[in-house]
Amino acid sequence: MVMKVLGIETSCDETAAAVVDAERRILSDVVRSQLAEHAPFGGVVPEIAARAHVEMLDGIVRRALDDAGCAIRDIDAVAATGGPGLIGGVIVGVMTAKGIAAAAGKPFVAVNHLEGHALTARLTDGTAFPYLLLLVSGGHCQLLIVEGVGRYVRLGTTIDDAVGEAFDKTAKLLGLGFPGGPAVAAMAEGGDAARFDLPRPMKGRPGCDFSFSGLKTAVRHVVDALPDGAIPREAARDLCAGFQRAAAEAICDRTSHAIRIFRSRHPGGAALVVAGGVAANTVLRALLEQTAEREGLRLVAPPPLLCTDNGAMIAWAGLERFRLGLTDGADFAPRPRWPLDESAAPAPFAGVKA
């Protein structure tokens, strides 16, 4: 029998469950977005998110099992995001997974949400260790060497805002709605990225850290300078194109530094993996492709639907951990912050460690 794992994801505003097997097949992947609930507030409201998870999760797990054509007795382990994330939502997922595991007599595996993103390239492309990971999302912006399951070396992180947050704030400033990433990307189509002089934060500086607060401020200054506070559609289109290009170029500059460090430590390493919600951005992907090719690496970018939060990545990370004997007990405590590299210096703005 091929090993199968049920994965549950509730760390933010997607309620998700999936079943994957050891042959890298996604047998089911059910995601219920909460965009409609949070859109009126221009961002995710933790209490609303947690309540929606409570209301929806049982049905989503049932559908994931049905879609996979299996019963819980056919599952070898139950995995759930144990953090980092909005703690109310994480608790819902962890308690549900523990309950299912206990009732069915199955092992429980707590998965670091970031490890779910980090290992997705192994699910989709069979990417071998070690590889360099660029993790870019609404709450995280990091560069890490992935040496194995549970083995990460952080090379750089944001010193202020995550790039996904910068996208969200830019969209809110321009009245484009939530979530900001897709809204900015859509508005940027056909725009003149060179019209406004926007900074490329940290570009050319040593190291691999990121910064996006200055770019957000520059966008606000452009908007404030527009006459009567009005934002003509053409100006919004050009500003979105410029912001998107500036963010992507800044990310690629820092990634180039990380590639050289990675290659010095792992001369045989062959892949640059990009993961997280912002990895779905086509402009960023195109520039990363050029960066990777220039530096002699292959870019691995999972399909956009597997870049945003989903249950398949949690099921796969759970499977990777389970087959190494890494399971958790009923006493596992959900973690609002959980760095991949536990030995790295605290990075309060990275969303991983207070």
Q: What is the CATH number of the domain that holds 196?
A: 3.30.420.40
In a domain, 125, yes or no: no
Taking residues 208-228, what's their average pLDDT? 92
Same domain, 269 and 143: yes
State residue 78 phi and psi, 5-degree precision: -120, 120
Taking residues 299-319, what's their average pLDDT? 96
Give the per-residue pLDDT at 349: 55
Q: How far is CA 321 from each of CA 119, 342, 344, rounded to the nearest angstrom?
A: 11, 17, 22
User: Looking at the 3D structure of the chain, how many domains does it have?
Assistant: 2
Q: What's the pLDDT band for 229 if we cut at 50, 70, 90?
A: low
Same domain, 170 and 284: yes
Quote the tokens at residue 187: 């508005």
Instruction: Judge residue 209's burial from the number of C-beta atoms within 10 Å of its C-beta, 0-12 exposed, 13-18 middle, 19 or more buried.
Output: buried
Taking residues 342-347, what's their average pLDDT? 84
Same domain, 310 and 299: no
3 state DSSP class of 333: coil
In a domain, 45, yes or no: yes
State how far the Cα of 97 lies from the Cα of 108, in Å rounded to an integer: 7
Single-letter amino acid, residue 33: S
Does residue 67 have a pLDDT over 80?
Answer: yes
Q: What's the pLDDT band for 25 if we cut at 50, 70, 90?
A: very high
180-188 vs 163-173: helix crossing angle, rounded to 10: 70
Same domain, 204 and 222: yes
In a domain, 20, yes or no: yes
Cα dihedral sign, 213-216-221-224 = negative
Q: What's the pLDDT band for 82 if we cut at 50, 70, 90?
A: very high
Taking residues 163-190, what's their average pLDDT? 92
Longest dimension (CA), the chain: 68
Q: How far is CA 342 from each of CA 79, 119, 347, rounded to the nearest angstrom?
A: 21, 17, 11
Q: What's the pLDDT band for 292 if we cut at 50, 70, 90?
A: very high
Q: Which residues contact 151 (CB under 8 A, 6 or more apart)?
A: none
Same domain, 178 and 284: yes
Same domain, 281 and 190: yes
For residues 320 and 351, the model is more confident at: 320
In a domain, 277, yes or no: yes
Same domain, 200 and 234: yes
Q: Which domain holds residue 137?
A: 130-303
Mean pLDDT of the chain: 93
Same domain, 298 and 312: no
Q: Lowest-confidence range among 37-46, 88-97, 134-143, 216-225?
A: 37-46
What secondary structure letter does DSSP report for 149? T
Give the per-residue pLDDT at 137: 85
For residues 186 and 161, the model is more confident at: 186
Q: Lowest-confidence range among 113-122, 134-143, 193-202, 282-291?
A: 134-143
Q: What's the pLDDT band for 226 if we cut at 50, 70, 90?
A: confident
Instruction: Judge residue 199's burial from the number of C-beta atoms within 10 Å of its C-beta, 0-12 exposed, 13-18 middle, 19 or more buried.
Output: middle
Residue among 163, 187, 184 nearest 276 (CA): 163
Query: Starting at the edge strand that comes first in sequence, how are the strands of the sheet with 108-112 ordered?
Result: 26-33, 14-21, 4-9, 77-83, 108-112
Does residue 326 have a pLDDT over 90?
Answer: yes
164: region left, alpha or beta (phi > 0 left; psi from -120 to 50 alpha) = alpha
Same domain, 342 and 243: no
Give the per-residue pLDDT at 351: 47
Same domain, 165 and 295: yes
Same domain, 188 and 296: yes
In a domain, 186, yes or no: yes
Q: Which of 286, 303, 320 is the last residue of a domain?
A: 303
State residue 265 phi and psi, 5-degree precision: -90, -30
Give the per-residue pLDDT at 41: 77
In a domain, 269, yes or no: yes
Q: What percent of the chain has pLDDT over 90?
A: 84
In a domain, 177, yes or no: yes
Before 179, cis peptide (omega within 30)?
yes
Taking residues 3-24, what's their average pLDDT? 96
Contact assessment for residue 192 and residue 243, using Cβ atoms and an 8 Å cutoff? no
Structure confidence by residue, pLDDT tens digits, 294-307: 999 999 999 999 99
Single-letter amino acid, residue 163: V
Q: How far is CA 273 from each of CA 130, 136, 287, 350, rounded to the nearest angstrom?
A: 11, 11, 13, 19
State how far the Cα of 260 lies from the Cα of 271, in Å rounded to an integer: 12
Does residue 354 have a pLDDT over 50?
Answer: no
Q: Lowest-confidence range among 4-8, 94-98, 135-139?
A: 135-139
Does residue 212 have a pLDDT over 50?
Answer: yes
46-68 vs 87-104: helix crossing angle, rounded to 10: 30
Structure confidence by residue, pLDDT tens digits, 116-165: 999 999 999 999 999 999 999 878 899 999 999 999 999 999 999 899 99
Give the per-residue pLDDT at 138: 79
Length of the chain: 354
Taking residues 223-245, what's their average pLDDT? 90
Taking residues 101-109, what's their average pLDDT? 98
Same domain, 198 and 109: no
Residue among 335, 317, 214 nearest 275 (CA): 317
State how far the Cα of 256 lies from the Cα of 124, in Å rounded to an integer: 24
Cα end-to-end span (Å), the chain: 43
Query: DSSP per residue over 70-93, as a string?
Result: --GGG-SEEEEEEESS-HHHHHHH
In a domain, 124, yes or no: no
List the beta bridge partners of residue 8. Answer: 17, 80
Give the per-residue pLDDT at 205: 92
